[in-house]
Amino acid sequence: MNRRIFLSISVFFSSFFGLSSKAELSRSGSKSWSAGNVLHILPCVSDTELLVKISLKNTLANPPELHVGMQKVRGIQTDSEGKFWQFHAKGLVPQTHYQLSLVDLSSTTGTKLLCDPWDLQTFPAPSTNISNMRLLMFTCTGGHEMHGYLPTAIRNRLLNRALSFKPDAAIANGDHVYWDLRSPLTAMSLGQSESAKNLAGLPNRSLPILGSSNEEFLKKTAGPQIVPVYGTDFRSTPTFFIQDDHDYYENDDAEDHIVTFPPDHFMTEMARTTQLLYYPEFLPDASRPAGLPGASANGKALPISESFGTLRYGNLVEVLMYNVRRTMTMAGQSAVFLQDTVENWLLERMKEDSVKHVVNVPSNPPGWSAGKWGEWYPDVFSSEGKLTIQKPKPYWQTGWVKQHDRLLKAMSSMTNRIPLVVSGDLHASALGKITKTGDTDLSENPVIAVLSGSIGTRDSGWPSGKRKILPQPSKHLEMEEIVKPIELHGFTIIDFTTDKIKLQMFTWDKKKQSIEDIDSLQPYKTLEI
Q: Give 30's pLDDT tier (boundaries 50, 70, 90).
A: very low
pLDDT at 133 over 60: yes
Count of domains for the chain: 2
Residues 104 and 234 in one domain: no
Strands 169-173 and 132-138: what pairing?
A: parallel
Residues 370 and 496 in one domain: yes
CA 6 vs CA 1, 20, 118, 153, 506: distances in Å: 6, 16, 21, 24, 34
Does 201 lie in the same domain as 71? Answer: no
Question: Domain for residue 27, yes or no?
Answer: no
Residue 351 three-state SS: helix
Same-domain check for residues 393 and 477: yes
Same domain for 421 and 298:
yes
CA–CA gap between residue 194 and residue 188 (Å, rounded): 9
Same domain, 317 and 199: yes
Q: How far is CA 74 from the centre of its chain?
A: 26
Q: What is the CATH number of the domain that holds 489?
A: 3.60.21.70
**Structural domain contains residue 17:** no
- Find the mean pLDDT for residues 400-406: 98
Look up the domain containing 53 and give its range: 35-81+91-121
448 in the same domain as 356: yes
Residue range 31-85, pLDDT digits in tens:
689 999 999 999 999 999 999 999 999 999 899 999 999 999 999 999 999 999 9
Whether the CB-CB separation of 98 and 291 falls below 8 Å is answered with no
- pLDDT confidence of residue 26: 39
The C-alpha atoms of residue 359 and residue 318 are separated, in whole angstroms, by 6
Please name the residues in contact with 466: beta carbons below 8 A apart, sequence gap of 6 or more: 185, 460
Taking the CA atoms of 141, 144, 147 and 150 in sequence, report the sign of the dihedral they define. Answer: positive
Give which of 83, 92, 79, 251 is closest to 175, Cα–Cα: 251
Q: What is the pLDDT of residue 466?
A: 67
List, for residues 263-277, the tens digit of each pLDDT value.
999 999 999 999 999
Smallest CA-to-CA distance from 230 within 519, 37, 456, 36 is with 456
Q: Which of 1-15, 60-74, 107-121 has the highest mean pLDDT?
A: 60-74
Q: C-alpha angle 509/364/479, rounded to 5°? A: 75
pLDDT above 90 covers a percentage of the chain that reads: 87
Mean pLDDT of 239-261: 97
The residues, any chain, with a CB within 8 Å of residue 301's CB and separated by 6 or more, are 290, 291, 295
List, for residues 477-506, the tens digit of each pLDDT value: 999 999 999 999 999 999 999 999 999 999
Mean confidence (pLDDT) of the chain? 92
The residues with which 51 forms a beta bridge, in sequence order, are 44, 88
pLDDT given for residue 18 in this prediction: 36
Distance (Å, rounded) from C-alpha 426 to C-alpha 444? 27
Q: Has residue 1 got a pLDDT over 50?
A: no
Are 356 and 492 part of one and the same domain? yes
Which one has a higher pLDDT value, 86 or 10?
A: 86
Q: Name residue 186's amino acid.
A: T
Distance CA 516, CA 326 (A): 39
